[in-house]
Amino acid sequence: MIIESQLFKIGNFNFKLNHLLIIGILILSFSISLTLRSQILDYGTELHEFDPFFNFRATEFLVNNGLLEYLDWHDVLSWYPNGRDISATSQTMLHVTAATTYQIFADNIDLYDFTILFPGIVGALTTIIIFALVRVVGGTTAGLLGSLLFAISAPIIIRGSMGWFKSEPLGLFYGLFGLYLFLSGIKSHNKKISIFKLIGGGVFLAFGLASWGGIQFFIIPIGIFIFTLPFLRKDFRFLIWSVPVFVISLLLTTAIFERPGMGFVLGMGGFSLIIPVIFLIICSFIQKFNNSKNQTRNYLILLAAIIIISSFVIIINSENHFLPSPSFRYLNAINPFLTTTDPLVDSVAEHSTATIHESFFMHSILMIFAGLGAWIIFNKLKSEYFPTFPKHLITFWIIFNKLKSEPSKDFPRDLMVFTLILGLTGVYVGSAFVRLELFTSISLIFLSSIGLSIITKDILSYKKQLQPTRNKIIKISYVGGILILMIIPLVFPASNWVSILDEPASILNGATMYDVSTNDWKESLEWIKLNTSSDSIVLSWWDYGYWITTVSERTTLVDNATIDSKQIQKVANILLSSPDDAWSMLQETGSDYVMIFVAGQKFQSTDETLLYLLEGGGDESKKMWFMKIAGVPVEKYLHSDGISGTDYFWNETLLGKMIPFSLVAYTHPPSNLVSLTYVPGFTGIYTNDIKFSKDSDGPLQLVYASSSFIEQKPGTMIGIFVYEVNKNYISSQNLSNSKISE
């Protein structure tokens, strides 16, 4: 074949045309992924979202002060007055990797710009890792298809674009690379190569855990996979040293880091690997000393005993906590029904459960490819069970049927089972949080690329006695159809896999629903930095804590680390308390300034009065979560729509008084009706009304308002308001006490 033609030779390696094709497709995957991840830069080169600002600040500290200082760093600008132990509460490997690569490759550019580029480049490089990983399981064709599908996967790119200097891109890079080395190591027949791969797999998977806690997901399919090995392979002499080498390497490397550290090794995560290894070793002894035909039965009895004992241990541990348990978020991923039990977790948008519409939008192309491959193979197998399988599970049936046949070099039996395990666990875990949909995507990429590769090989090797032209038409039509299916979600509908990624960085629109790019937040944070004393303490909702400490270099009470839920609850209670009570609480916290964020639309009425719609995604939209976290009755503060404030909210709470607007009326545009009182389905219309002006003698004094609020013209308002705490304020209660003493 022409594709096997030798181009040149380097030592013992023959470089053929197919190698050039592989390199070309990988370059294409990398380029597509990088291009999609770069769209956000059209709005400006800024870090995206909230956590990246902390990660930049931590990386900057590491670059400027060195690793030892970083490991000993107790940050006093966050979580006042207790501060924060950075290395024990951070994705340390993210900071170390970024600082190291910056000093090696990019010391001549600004660190801020480097951290903007870092996640996009690392994410694009992961297309090569996924190629190698899928290739180990399903062959070169499957690997190339997996690389292309990974390059265009919306859930993965959304959480790995330029500026997304968070944990997911690097965590996936390390985690998938570690998984590749593990599977490649147990597949290899060269012991010397295997041991290096297995040790490396453990080390890099541990790096992934230290970069992003979500990589703990991979522990689930790996642990289950180890349980299945005695049933699938007979080379126990290899397995009883190779698998423990990987697990020991993983646990020892993990123990080096403070997070997840020994809590993971001696907790549920570590035992999820240690117990399967013990099971594997015991099975090897059963196989060695019991040559009866009942070995499989004995394995099953032992496995059932382990499952029963483990279940009792988990139940007892939930009461006594003698083993370190994962945090609530990780438990929520295992049990999605826990989502509604913690309002703090619920309040985070990325912790919401994906709807059926969202899941289909994010994975439709993967489901279609899996269904297409299954349909063709299923017809070849003449199976009667085809109609009973959902489309995204049909590839499971293909692989299951292949298990009946002898294992092939490209698709070993044990790795087929691993693919099934990864697919099932990935789909299940992704059902908990929108954030974890990327694991669903990875699982479906595995299944789709393997199923599609089977179909492709059959189609391209089609040699039925037809006219040569007809054979070519069939093959060209197939390739063209696959390309069209891959392109459709990138261009259709209007909200597609490309357009959904085309949005400004959060600091440019306040993470609101508005597709605008303004300097309101940047100017406001700069104002705080230049116009407040360096020891000032700023109280705000926890969303904005990282922006204040990193950009404004001021101390905050809470931030996105959510280290102390009680502290966040205290802030919520302050904002929802009466102005007098809130002022007393502000004195107790030592706060000097209070900052709120209000987003909305400005428009002119018929008499050219400027009116406002306040439902844009600022604190005016988040206030329901303030109430749930504070533990107060929501109905006291909000009407039945969960958005419109009651008279009590507007007139009796500090937050209601700080929002510089007053209700004019409620309107229902479709019917052109107006009401002075709340009516379900109606929307509030507001007018400008500053209650705590700069010259007032109230508990707070407005000292700064962002430009889009000050500008008296219609358009989007990204309103940041900074109030100074009036230290000389005399509350009504103190005034009454003073008169009584007199």
Residue of 363 and 87 predicted with greater confidence: 87
pTM recorded for the entire structure: 0.90
Q: What is the mean pLDDT of the chain?
A: 86
pLDDT over 90 at 678, yes or no: yes
HSE, CB side, 13 Å, CA atoms: give it for residue 693.
5
- Residue pLDDT, tens place only, 124-157: 999 999 999 999 988 899 999 999 999 999 999 9
pLDDT over 80 at 338, yes or no: no
Tokens of 160: 């790995």
Window from 36-40, 499-503, 546-550 with minimum mean pLDDT: 499-503
| DSSP summary character for residue 45 | S
pLDDT over 50 at 392, yes or no: no
pLDDT over 60 at 623, yes or no: yes
Nearest to 617 by CA among 503, 696, 523, 461: 503
- Residue pLDDT, tens place only, 427-477: 888 877 777 889 989 988 988 888 888 778 877 776 655 566 677 777 788
Pairing of strands 13-16, 6-10: antiparallel
Residue 609 pLDDT: 86
Q: In one letter, which amino acid is 262?
A: M
| DSSP summary character for residue 675 | E
pLDDT band per the 50, 70, 90 thresholds, residue 188: confident
pLDDT band per the 50, 70, 90 thresholds, residue 386: very low
pLDDT over 50 at 405, yes or no: no
β-partners of residue 13 are: 10
β-partners of residue 713 are: none
Overall average pLDDT of the 200-204 stretch? 98
Window from 80-89, 324-333, 599-608, 637-646 with minimum mean pLDDT: 324-333
Label each residue of 683-703 as H, E or C. Answer: EEEEEECCCCCCCCCCCEEEE
What's the CA gap between 704 and 396, in Å, rounded? 59
Using only C-alpha atoms, the chain has a radius of gyration, in whole angstroms, of 29
What's the CA gap between 622 and 626, in Å, rounded? 7
Tokens of 375: 């349909």
- Residue pLDDT, tens place only, 691-719: 999 998 999 999 999 999 999 899 999 99
Nearest to 688 by CA among 600, 575, 579: 600
pLDDT band per the 50, 70, 90 thresholds, residue 12: low
Window from 66-80, 119-133, 365-379, 606-620 with minimum mean pLDDT: 365-379
